[in-house]
Structure 1
Amino acid sequence: MTPFEPQSLIGVGTGIYTLPDISYILHLPTGKVRKWMHEYWQLRFSSSAESGFSHGSGKELVTNFLTLIEFFTFYQLRQEGVSAQKIVKAHQILAKTFRTKYPFAKSSLLTDGERVLFNGDAGNIIQADETLQINIKEAIEPFCKKVEFNDDDMVKRFYPLGKDHSIVIDPKRQFGQPVIGDTNILAETIYNLHRGGESIDTISSLYSLTVGQVNDVINYYRRAA
Structure 2
Amino acid sequence: MDQRNHHVDTESLVGVGLYTPAEAARLLRIPAGKIVRWLHGHAVKGKWYDSLWSPQVELGDGKTYLGFRDLMELRTADAFMQAGVSAIMIRRAIVEAQKFIDEERPLSTTRFVTDGRSIFLEIADQTGDAKLLDLFKQQYAFKRIVESSLKGVDFEGIAPIRWWPAGKNQKIVVDPERSFGQPIESDSGVPTAALAAAVAAEGSAEAAARIWQVPVQAVARAVRFESELANAA
Give TM-score, length-normalised by structure 1: 0.75
Equivalent in 3, 7, 18 of residue 7 of structure 1: 3
Residue 115 of structure 1 aligns with which residue? none
Structure 2 distance, partners of 1:179, 1:209, is 14
Residue 185 of structure 1 aligns with which residue? 190
Structure 2 distance, partners of 1:6, 1:201, is 42
Residue 69 of structure 1 aligns with which residue? 72
| TM-superposed deviation, 1:98 | 0.4
Q: Secondary structure at the match of 1:196?
A: helix
- Which consecutive residues of structure 2, in runs of 5 or more, have no partner in the other structure? 7-11, 43-48, 126-135
Higher helix share: 2
Pair 97,158 (structure 1): closer, same or farther in 2 beyond 3 Å? same
- Matching of residue 19 in structure 1 with residue 24 in structure 2: no
Task: Give the letter for the 2:168 counterpart.
Answer: K
Equivalent in 96, 103, 128 of residue 119 of structure 2: 128
Residue 103 of structure 1 aligns with which residue? 106
Deviates more, 1:135-144 or 1:178-187: 135-144
Pair 96,13 (structure 1): closer, same or farther in 2 beyond 3 Å? same
Per-residue CA deviations over 1:83-115 (Å, capped at 9, x if unaligned) read 323222211111221021110221175xxxxxx
| TM-superposed deviation, 1:200 | 2.0
- Matching of residue 215 in structure 1 with residue 215 in structure 2: no
Q: How does 1:1-225 map to 2 (within 5 A)?
A: 6-10=2-6, 11=12, 12-39=14-41, 43-46=50-53, 53-56=56-59, 60-107=63-110, 109=112, 118-120=113-115, 126-129=117-120, 131=122, 137-138=139-140, 139-140=143-144, 141-150=147-156, 152-204=157-209, 207-211=213-217, 213-225=218-230
Residue 114 of structure 1 aligns with which residue? none
Task: Give the letter for the 1:219 counterpart.
Answer: R
| TM-superposed deviation, 1:204 | 4.0
Pair 222,55 (structure 1): closer, same or farther in 2 beyond 3 Å? same
| TM-superposed deviation, 1:25 | 1.8
Identity between Structure 1 and Structure 2 (%): 23
Task: Give the letter for the 2:5 counterpart.
Answer: L
Whether contact under 8 Å (2:69, 2:160) holds in the other structure is yes
Structure 1 distance, partners of 2:105, 2:17, is 14
- Which consecutive residues of structure 1, in runs of 5 or more, have no partner in the other structure? 110-117
| TM-superposed deviation, 1:82 | 2.5
Deviates more, 1:192-201 or 1:172-181: 192-201
Give TM-score, length-normalised by structure 2: 0.73
Q: Secondary structure at the match of 1:85?
A: helix
Structure 2 distance, partners of 1:202, 1:52, is 40
